[in-house]
Amino acid sequence: MVCIRLVPHDVSYAEEISKLTSVSEVRNALGMTNAQCSVPGTRDFIRLMQLEEKLGHHISRVILDEGNNIIGVISLKNIDEMQKSCHVGTWLGREYWGKGYNEIAKIEILKIAFEKLHLNYVFAGARLENIRSQKAQAKLPYMTLNVEQQFHYEWKKLEWLEQTPCVLNMVRKEDFLNWYYQDIAVS
């Protein structure tokens, strides 16, 4: 099994994050421009994530692998304390795809969402053309798929932010915690 650590953003990570996002498969999946993937663009992103966390809107973490290499980013976005919800977003560098890092990172960030922030729902959207992301979400045993009609406002908000058609999935607190603690008990 792979191991990861989630660490707060630091501007010193900008060059390595920029290298990872500049790979066309990653950049295109994220809908990013070359300017956003540049080192200055990445520094701006990191500073924005630090500010958004201070304001209580986001919690974004850099994902480190077993060798403390930066492999991606995972974020709880648009935290809504009144609705007890947020959105999760994850990306990994191309060379880390398909190795189990995404699932482990999601578990760690969902523990923060449900146990520390006491949220009830974490939405996981994906661009309609991002089949890879949709398949990764569908593999997660605690994920409820296709909640677009049940959470129409969240779905439309996501599509507006992404400026493209999206699917909307969701993790319910009770589904995740039941799965997580059952998995620990069995291990």
Q: List the beta bridge partners of residue 6.
A: 63
- What are the tens digits of pLDDT across the range 3-39? 999 999 999 999 999 999 999 888 888 888 899 999 9
Which residues are 72's β-sheet partners?
Answer: 63, 92
What's residue 31's pLDDT? 80
Residue 67 has pLDDT above 80, yes or no: yes
Count of the separate structural domains present in the chain: 1
CATH number for the domain spanning 23: value is 3.40.630.30
- The letter for the amino acid at 83 is Q
pLDDT of residue 29: 80
Q: Are 158 and 145 spatial neighbours (Cβ–Cβ below 8 Å)?
A: no
- Is 88 exposed, middle or buried (CB count within 10 Å of its CB: 0-12, 13-18, 19+)? buried
22 CB-near residues (< 8 Å, 6+ apart): 34, 37, 38
Give the model's pLDDT for residue 112. Answer: 97
| String of DSSP letters for 31-99 | T--HHHHSHHHHHHHHHHHHHHHHTTS-EEEEEE-TTS-EEEEEEEEEEETTTTEEEEEEEE-GGGTTS
What are the counts of helices (DSSP H) followed by strands (DSSP E) for the chain? 8, 7
Single out the residue of 140, 106, 98, 91 nearest to residue 4, CA to CA: 106
| Structural domain span for residue 129 | 5-186
User: Residue 125 has which token pair?
Assistant: 């959207």
Structure tokens at 37: 């993937």
Weakest mean pLDDT among 16-20, 31-35, 54-58, 119-123: 31-35
| Across 88-108, average pLDDT | 94
Average pLDDT over residues 160-176: 95
What is residue 84's predicted lDDT score, i.e. its pLDDT? Answer: 97
Strand, helix or coil for residue 164 = coil
